[in-house]
Copies of this chain bind each other. A is one copy, B any other.
Amino acid sequence: MPARGDHDARRRDVSEAVWQVLAAKGFGGLTLRAVATHMGSSTGLLTHYFPSKQALVRHALEIAQQHTAGRERFTSAGEGLPGLRAALLDVMPLTPQSTAMNRVWISFWDAALSDAELAEVELQRYERWRGMLRPHVDAAIRLGQLAGDPDDVDPDDIVATAAGFAHGIVVQAIFDPARFPAQRQIALVDGFIARLQR
């Protein structure tokens, strides 16, 4: 039993080190050597957990997804556009934690562009995220919150536009935190939502 406990504790240490390396260097800087250095251990020990670079990247993806799923969320004041607003704020780099998370996912874009399997993972992640935004847009249409003729509104296009806007602000804010403090990011989301509104 103690051996089992040691084993689990060691796995947690390894996972934590993988996350720290990801947050500092992104997927591009994720190597067995970097994780080993962070743990003060040998790369030999780590090959026990990760027999290949691919295995390391897969584990890193799981950890990044856990961090993303486990983050604090905004609560929405209502259905439709207020829900969409909260969902967009959920991805903004408003705190050091969400900045680290975004930094990791931006680096994953590059990794995914050089690897067909990872590109498919990223395509699916986007589909899932757009799928999470979609019910808010559907509710906004149903509740008559959107500007324009409801028959002319394509919910998929509103979702893609909102997802695009959010990620594009994320990238600008990550590179230029002085020009994009949390307060301005929130104001930009509010302005975007206001322009969708009738």
Contacts and interface: CB of A to CB of B under 8 A. Distances in A.
Interface of A: 25-29, 103, 106-107, 109-114, 119, 122-123, 126-127, 147, 157, 160-161, 163-169, 171-172, 174-176, 180, 184, 187-188, 191-192, 195-196
Contacts of A109: 106-107, 109-110, 171, 175
Copies held by the complex: 2
A166 B27 CA distance: 24
Contact of A165 (B25, B110, B168): B168
A183 to B, nearest CB: 12
Given A103-B113, A167-B172, 17 more contacts: A26-B114, A28-B111, A106-B109, A119-B175, A122-B175, A160-B180, A161-B165, A161-B169, A161-B192, A163-B168, A164-B165, A164-B166, A164-B167, A164-B169, A167-B171, A168-B169, A195-B196
29 contacts: A26-B110, A28-B110, A28-B111, A28-B114, A29-B114, A106-B109, A106-B110, A107-B110, A109-B109, A109-B171, A112-B175, A113-B174, A119-B175, A122-B175, A123-B176, A126-B172, A126-B175, A157-B188, A157-B191, A160-B172, A161-B169, A163-B168, A163-B172, A164-B164, A164-B166, A165-B165, A167-B167, A167-B172, A195-B196
A38 B185 CA distance: 43
B188 A160 contact: yes
